[in-house]
């Protein structure tokens, strides 16, 4: 709560006081945009269907586990309510990929597969690779993607530490990397550093739950201070880092989301 209050009272709103032209455009066209895309209605309908899904899944947790659920057995509808991105955050991901025209996206932590659908819809000429450690969640996401005809999503099952090294060695650079799994300090930094091997000047990394724990906050502070990062944006619920070399003086922003 203390961290949220600090963020609430210090964060810039609506782009006020943001001097970087790129960051200001990001505020206007992505973060605070009220534009409604046609895909949003379809994606929200899928979310609503999942919110009424009483299927019971037995989920394997890796890393720091869950603060929300006790035990492995979870109803799909409860995972949607408490365990995945909100509608607003998912729509932000869509807007960001659309704004940046990100063609090659990586999601570390598939869960039910809803965010992968947002990513795929945001740039249908692109490609989404999503990695999930829990077989049950991976299978659910694959079935969801098949049901809604999303051939541009590549669903990979396995632990992140087993999958990522080979994937990152064999892949072209990723324009967008979303780190949303294994919420530990060591793992978050490790996946960030792995991602650096396949980033480019146009890449953006999104790190979820940067205030989930003191360890996650520590990892976030180290990530945004990395010398390769030209701009960081702290939105409390997630953080963004950019690598654009045209930004000569490092920009660190705290924005209200």
Overall average pLDDT of the 96-101 stretch = 95
Q: Mean of the pLDDT values across residues 150-161?
A: 95
Answer whether residue 67 is part of any domain. Answer: no
Q: What percent of the chain has pLDDT over 90?
A: 67
Please say whether the beta carbons of 158 and 75 come within 8 A. no
Q: pLDDT tens-digit profile of 170-210?
A: 778 899 999 998 889 999 999 999 999 888 888 999 999 99
Average pLDDT over residues 231-251: 87
Give the per-residue pLDDT at 9.
Answer: 38
- In this predicted structure, the answer to whether residue 215 has a pLDDT above a threshold of 90 is yes
The Cβ-side half-sphere exposure at 18, using a 13 Å CA radius, reads: 24
CB-based contacts of 62, cutoff 8 Å, min separation 6: 133, 134, 159, 160, 181, 182
**73 lies in some domain:** no
Q: Which domain holds residue 162?
A: 2-36+87-254
Task: Please report whether residue 71 resides in a domain.
Answer: no
Tokens read off for 133: 């450690």
- Under a CB-based contact definition with an 8 Å cutoff, are residues 115 and 94 in contact? no
Q: Can you give the pLDDT at residue 60?
A: 82
Task: Tell me the mean pLDDT in the region 114-142.
Answer: 96
Residue 96, pLDDT above cutoff 70: yes
Chain segment 130-139, per-residue pLDDT in tens: 999 999 999 9
**Average pLDDT over the chain, rounded to an integer:** 88
Look at 6 and 76; give whichever has higher pLDDT.
76
Backbone angles phi, psi at 71, to 5 degrees: 85, 180
Instruction: Please give the structure tokens belonging to residue 28.
Output: 């206007």
The answer to whether position 158 is within a domain reads yes
* 169 compared with 5, residue with greater pLDDT: 169
Picking from 221, 220, 149, 215, the residue whose alpha carbon sits closest to that of residue 184 is: 215
- pLDDT bin (cut points 50, 70, 90) of residue 68 is low
Q: Where are the alpha helices (H) located in 52-173, listed in sequence order?
A: 76-82, 87-100, 114-122, 135-147, 160-170
Q: Is 29 inside any structural domain? A: yes
In a domain, 61, yes or no: no
- State the Cα–Cα distance between residues 26 and 161, nearest whole angstrom: 32
Residue 257, CA distances (Å) to 8, 177, 208, 233 in order: 9, 20, 13, 11
* Sequence-ordered alpha helix ranges (H) in the chain: 2-10, 21-26, 38-51, 76-82, 87-100, 114-122, 135-147, 160-170, 185-196, 214-224
Is 17 a residue whose pLDDT tops 60?
A: no
User: Residue 222: inside a domain, yes or no?
Assistant: yes
Residue 1 pLDDT level (bands cut at 50, 70, 90):
low
Domain count, the chain: 1
Is 124 within the bounds of a domain?
yes
Q: How confident is the model at residue 120 (pLDDT cuts 50, 70, 90)?
A: very high
Q: What CATH number corresponds to the domain at position 124?
A: 3.40.50.150
- pLDDT of res. 99: 94
Q: How confident is the model at residue 8 (pLDDT cuts 50, 70, 90)?
A: very low
């Amino acid at each position: 709560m203390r961290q949220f209050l600090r963020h609430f009272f210090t964060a810039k709103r609506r782009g006020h006081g943001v001097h970087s032209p790129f960051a200001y455009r990001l505020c206007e066209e992505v973060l605070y945009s009220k534009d409604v895309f046609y895909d949003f209605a379809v994606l929200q309908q899928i979310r609503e269907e999942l919110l009424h899904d009483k299927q019971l899944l037995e989920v394997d947790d890796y890393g720091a586990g869950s603060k929300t659920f006790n035990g492995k057995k979870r109803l799909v509808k409860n995972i949607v309510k408490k365990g995945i991105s909100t509608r607003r955050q998912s729509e932000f991901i869509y807007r960001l990929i659309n704004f940046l025209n990100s063609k090659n996206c990586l999601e570390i932590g598939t869960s039910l597969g809803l965010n992968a659908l947002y990513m795929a819809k945001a740039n249908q000429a692109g490609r989404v690779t999503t990695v999930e450690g829990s077989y049950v969640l991976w299978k659910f996401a694959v079935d969801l993607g098949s049901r809604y005809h999303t051939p541009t999503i590549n669903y990979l099952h396995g632990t992140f530490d087993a999958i990522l090294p080979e994937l990152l060695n064999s892949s072209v650079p990723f324009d967008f990397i979303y780190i949303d799994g294994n919420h530990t300090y060591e793992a978050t930094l490790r996946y960030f550093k792995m991602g650096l091997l396949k980033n480019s000047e146009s890449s953006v990394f999104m790190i979820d739950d940067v205030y989930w724990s003191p360890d996650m906050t520590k990892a976030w502070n180290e990530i945004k201070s990395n010398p390769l990062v030209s701009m960081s944006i702290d939105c409390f619920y997630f953080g963004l880092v950019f690598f654009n070399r045209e930004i000569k003086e490092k920009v660190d922003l705290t924005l209200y989301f």
